[in-house]
C-alpha cells in the first residue's frame, strides 16, 4: 500500500485550497478533517495530526488537512522534528495534506524547514505543488482564463478593469496578493449572475466591483522618488485608510530620503557605480541607479528640509502634539514640492 500525501505551498490562497480539493476529489470525495495550529509552536496539533493519520485504516478513507504546518513547528527544534516525522512515519493507506500559505513578500524565499518538508514528502512518494498568486500585469490574463473555466463570457476591457480594481496593476513588493484570485473568482460569479445570458462588460464591473486595491507603503516612497505629489498623496491616503501604521510610513520615508541624500552627495563627488551600489543599492546596481536618478530630481537643500521635516513630524507624533495622520499629510504637502528650505 501507499500513502496519499500532498504539500501545497505559496501565497495563492485559492490555488492552495483547490490543490487540496483536487486531492479530495481524486480520492473519491472522502471525509476530511482540517486542523489549524492555535499558537506557535503548537506540538499538540502535530500530535493530533499524527493520531488522526494513524487511525485512517480503522475508520475507512479519511483525509487529514494540516494548515500552516510551519506555524505549528514554529522555532522549536522538537516541533520541527515532529512535523518531519509526521510525513516520514505516515502509515500506509493514510491520507495527509499539508497546506502552507505564506506571505507574498516571503513566498519566493522558502525557509529551510519548508525545503526539508518537501524532501520528506517526495521521499514518501507524495506530491509537492507551488501555487503563486499572479504578479503585476498577470492578473488580467488570470481573470480571462478563470472566466473561461467558469463558462463566463467576459469582455477583454472588463477583465482588465476587474483585475485593476482588485490590485493587479500594483507592482510594489510590500502588498499581500494571497486573496486576489479568490476575490476575482467571487466577483466573476457575482458579475455573471447580474449579467445573465449576456456578456459581462465594463459597465457591469464599474457598477458592481468595488475598488479594493491593496495599500502599499512602497507606493508612497516610490512616488516621492518620482517627485509626483498627486501619486504620493493618493498612495498615502490609501495606506492610511487601510490602517498602515503612520510610524511605519514615516520610517520608510526617513530611510528613503536618507538614501537620496547619500546618493546626491556621492554623485556630486563623482562616485563610481560600484560605490553607489555599496552605499545605497544594498548590493543591487539597478537599485543604486534608481536611487541616484531619484536624487537628481531634488536640490540638496530640499532633501535636507524633507529629512528635518520628518524628524519634526515624528517628534510631534511621539509627544502627542498632533494627530499622526495629520502630521504625515502635512509633511507631504509642505515638502514634496521642495518649497521649504532647510534651517540654517
Q: Are residues 198 and 229 in the same domain?
A: no
What pLDDT score was predicted for residue 98?
A: 97
Q: Please list, residue by residue across 146-175, b when 16 or more beta carbons sit within 10 angstroms of its beta carbon and e when fewer do.
A: bbeeeebebbeebbbbbbbbbbbebebebb
Are residues 23 and 116 both part of a single domain?
yes
Of the three residues 77, 112, 131, the one that is the final residue of a domain is: 131
Residue 188 falls within a domain, yes or no? Answer: yes
Per-residue model confidence (pLDDT) at position 176: 81
Which residue range forms the structural domain that includes residue 321?
217-335
Residues 198 and 234 in one domain: no
- What confidence category does residue 343 fall into, taking pLDDT thresholds of 50, 70 and 90? very low
- Between CA 197 and CA 99 the distance in angstroms is 37
Secondary structure in 3-state letters for 200-244 = ECHHHHHHHCCCCCCCCHHHHHHHHHHCCHHHHHHHHHHHHHCCC
- The mean per-residue pLDDT over the stretch 304-329 comes to 90
Give the per-residue pLDDT at 300: 92
Q: How many CA atoms lie within 13 A of 279 on its CB side?
A: 20
Q: Which three cell numbers stand for residue 293?
A: 536618478
- Distance (Å, whole) CA 300 – CA 32: 63
159/135 Cα distance (integer angstroms): 15
Segment among 48-57, 123-132, 188-197, 307-316 with least mean pLDDT: 48-57
Give the pLDDT confidence score for residue 344 in this predicted structure: 32
pLDDT tens track for 139-163: 999 999 999 999 999 999 999 999 9
Confidence of residue 31 (pLDDT cuts 50, 70, 90): confident
Do 154 and 258 belong to one domain?
A: no
Domain shared by 22 and 126, yes or no: yes
Average model confidence (pLDDT) across the chain = 88
Task: Let me know whether 147 and 122 are in one domain.
Answer: no
Sequence-ordered list of residues with C-beta below 8 angstroms from that of 23, at least 6 positions apart, any chain: 4, 6, 63, 95, 97
Q: What are phi and psi of 249, to 5 degrees?
A: -65, -45
pLDDT at 61: 64
How does pLDDT run across 41-98, given as a tens digit for each residue? 999 999 999 888 877 555 566 889 999 999 999 999 999 999 999 999 998 888 899 9
In a domain, 152, yes or no: yes
Q: Check whether residue 201 and residue 236 sit in a common domain.
A: no
Q: What is the pLDDT of residue 340?
A: 43
In a domain, 340, yes or no: no
Percent composition of the chain: helix, strand, coil (DSSP 3-state, to 5): 60, 10, 30
Please say which residue of 96, 131, 166 terminates a domain: 131
pLDDT at residue 1 above 60? Answer: no
221 plus 189 within the same structural domain: no
Residue 301: what are its φ and ψ, rounded to 5°?
Answer: -65, -30
Tell whether the model's pLDDT for residue 336 goes beyond 90: no
CATH of the domain at 184: 1.10.8
Q: Report yes or no on 342 lying in a domain.
A: no
Residues 246 and 283 in one domain: yes
Query: Using an 8 Å Cβ cutoff, are 317 and 324 in contact?
Result: yes
Please check whether residue 318 lies inside any domain of the structure.
Answer: yes
Domain harbouring 66, CATH code: 3.40.50.300
- Confidence band for 285, pLDDT divided at 50, 70 and 90: confident
pTM, rounded to two decimals: 0.69
CA 227 to chain CA mean position, Å: 26
| pLDDT tens column, 165-224 | 998 888 777 778 888 999 999 999 999 999 999 999 999 999 999 888 777 788 888 899
Q: Is residue 313 part of a domain?
A: yes
Which one is predicted more confidently, 341 or 293?
293
pLDDT score at 261: 93
Q: Is residue 107 part of a domain?
A: yes
* Number of domains, the chain: 3
Q: Are residues 224 and 184 in the same domain?
A: no
Is 341 part of a structural domain of the chain? no
**pLDDT for 59:** 53
- Domain with residue 233: its CATH number is 1.20.272.10
Same domain, 33 and 63: yes
The phi, psi pair for 316, rounded to 5°, reads -65, -40
Residue 301 sits in the same domain as residue 267: yes
Q: Among 208, 231, 257, give the residue marking a domain's end.
A: 208
Amino acid at each position: 500500500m501507499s500513502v496519499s500525501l500532498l504539500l501545497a505551498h505559496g501565497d495563492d490562497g485559492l490555488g492552495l485550497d483547490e490543490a487540496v480539493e483536487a486531492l479530495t476529489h481524486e480520492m473519491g470525495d472522502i471525509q476530511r478533517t482540517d486542523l489549524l495550529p492555535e499558537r506557535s509552536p503548537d506540538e499538540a496539533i502535530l500530535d493530533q495530526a499524527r493520531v488522526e493519520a494513524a487511525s485512517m485504516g480503522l475508520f475507512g478513507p479519511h483525509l487529514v488537512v494540516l494548515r500552516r504546518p510551519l506555524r505549528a513547528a514554529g522555532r522549536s527544534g522538537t516541533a520541527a522534528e515532529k512535523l518531519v516525522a509526521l510525513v516520514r512515519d505516515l502509515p500506509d493507506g493514510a491520507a495527509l495534506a499539508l497546506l502552507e500559505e505564506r506571505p507574498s513578500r516571503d513566498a519566493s524565499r522558502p525557509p529551510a524547514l519548508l525545503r526539508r518538508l518537501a524532501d520528506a514528502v517526495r521521499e514518501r512518494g507524495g506530491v509537492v505543488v507551488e501555487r503563486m498568486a499572479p504578479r503585476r500585469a498577470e492578473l488580467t490574463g488570470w481573470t480571462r482564463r478563470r472566466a473561461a473555466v467558469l463558462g463566463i463570457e467576459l469582455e477583454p476591457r472588463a477583465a482588465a478593469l476587474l483585475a485593476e480594481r482588485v490590485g493587479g496593476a500594483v507592482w510594489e513588493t510590500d502588498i499581500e496578493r494571497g486573496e486576489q484570485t479568490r476575490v476575482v473568482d467571487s466577483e466573476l460569479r457575482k458579475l455573471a449572475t447580474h449579467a445573465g445570458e449576456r456578456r459581462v462588460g465594463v459597465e457591469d464591473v464599474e457598477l458592481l466591483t468595488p475598488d479594493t486595491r491593496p495599500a502599499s507603503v512602497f507606493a508612497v516612497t516610490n512616488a516621492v522618488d518620482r517627485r509626483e505629489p498627486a501619486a504620493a498623496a493618493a498612495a498615502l491616503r490609501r495606506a492610511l485608510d487601510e490602517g498602515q501604521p503612520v510610524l511605519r510610513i514615516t520610517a520608510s520615508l526617513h530611510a528613503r530620503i536618507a538614501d537620496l541624500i547619500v546618493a546626491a552627495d556621492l554623485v556630486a563627488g563623482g562616485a563610481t557605480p560600484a560605490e553607489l551600489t555599496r552605499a545605497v543599492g544594498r548590493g543591487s546596481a539597478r537599485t543604486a541607479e534608481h536611487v541616484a536618478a531619484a536624487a537628481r530630481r531634488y536640490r540638496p537643500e530640499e532633501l535636507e528640509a524633507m529629512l528635518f521635516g520628518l524628524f519634526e513630524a515624528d517628534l510631534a507624533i511621539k509627544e502627542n502634539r498632533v494627530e499622526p495622520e495629520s502630521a504625515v499629510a502635512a509633511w507631504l504637502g509642505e515638502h514634496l514640492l521642495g518649497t521649504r528650505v532647510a534651517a540654517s
